């Protein structure tokens, strides 16, 4: 199974990235994931279920430890066909 996680950490700081955001980005960028997209207001990572779930655990623990007061995330199951960008469950519907 493949998963995609999208997340943001708060509080936001428009002048410079807060420590919790830098820590979160380091966690996903250093993980053995297939795809990582880091942006100023949201981040996305994709990979095997095992790798993504390990990253989510580390992301939550380390970001909170670095001062995050809120972490919003969405986790989607991806279709096995890499060309299909929609998340689907085993029954073919949204997961």
Share of the chain above pLDDT 70, in %: 84
Q: What is the pLDDT of residues 4-39, one digit of tens each?
A: 999 999 998 878 889 999 999 999 999 999 999 988
Give the C-alpha separation, 36 to 29, whole Å. Answer: 7
Residue 92 lies in a domain: no
Residue 94 lies in a domain: no
- Whether the pLDDT of residue 85 is over 50: the answer is no
Give the residue-averaged pLDDT of 43-57.
96
Residue 88 lies in a domain: no
Residue 14 confidence (pLDDT): 79
The CATH number given to whatever domain includes residue 58 is: 3.30.70.930
CB 60 within 8 A of CB 50: no
Residue 40 lies in a domain: yes
**pLDDT band at 49, cuts 50/70/90?**
very high
Domain with 55 in it: 2-78
């Amino acid at each position: 199974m493949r998963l995609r996680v999208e997340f943001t950490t708060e509080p936001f700081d428009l002048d410079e990235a807060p420590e919790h955001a830098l820590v979160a980005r380091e966690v996903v960028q250093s993980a053995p994931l297939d795809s990582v997209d880091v942006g100023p207001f949201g981040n996305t990572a994709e990979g095997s279920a095992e790798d993504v779930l390990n990253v989510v655990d580390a992301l939550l623990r380390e970001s909170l430890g670095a001062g995050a007061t809120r972490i919003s995330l969405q986790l989607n199951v991806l279709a096995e066909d890499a060309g299909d960008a929609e998340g689907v469950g085993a029954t073919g519907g949204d997961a």
